[in-house]
Amino acid sequence: MKISTKGQYGLQALLDLAIYGADDYISLKSIAERQGMSDNYLEQLFASLKKNGLVESTRGAQGGYRLAKPSKEITVKQVLNALEGPLALVDCIIEGKESQCDRFECCVTRVVWQKIMENLNEVTDAITLADLVESYKNSKRSAGIEYYI
């Protein structure tokens, strides 16, 4: 399993939104400039994030995107699932796809994949955008850079 640029850029862009946006609407262009990303690509990602209830948008001169709920309520798992779909090492551990494998009932290695996925889900579900914002602030402090929102 490898997280694609959708997941990587999407998480990075949402973190940017959490750091610089607070409750304000932020344009994708400004996020793209700060993060060195294509604003066209971000539009595609933010459409999925909006569809999954993680961001909301408004049009107009002061338009843009903001988080749909507090950063402490948005987990890395939610972001990755919105952009990548269900995370799985192998298809047979995806809910609803178990029957696609002829050896599902007797497969010993399935237990390994399930344990790895349980741990991955536990970790990604435990880390919130607020945690990442705090890590960002701490990294700025340790580098001797003042940080203000």
Residue 17 lies in a domain: yes
Cβ-Cβ contacts under 8 Å for 19 (sequence gap 6 or more): 133, 136, 149
**How many structural domains comprise the chain?**
1
Question: Tokens 């990602």 — which residue?
Answer: 45
28 domain residue, yes or no: yes
Give the residue-averaged pLDDT of 2-21.
94
pLDDT at residue 99, as a whole number:
58
Q: Residue 22 falls within a domain, yes or no?
A: yes
Is residue 69 one of the residues assigned to a domain? yes
Is residue 149 a part of any domain in this protein?
Answer: no
| pLDDT over 90 at 90, yes or no | no
The answer to whether residue 148 is domain-embedded is no
Range of the domain at 97: 5-142
**Angle between helical axes of 5-21 and 39-51 (0-180°, round to 10):** 80
Q: What is the pLDDT of residues 21-61, one digit of tens each?
A: 877 899 999 999 999 999 999 999 999 999 999 999 999 88
Give 137's contacts (C-beta < 8 A, 6+ positions apart). 147
Q: Which of 13, 129, 22, 8 is nearest to 73 (CA)?
A: 129
CATH code of the domain containing 60: 1.10.10.10
Residue 147 lies in a domain: no
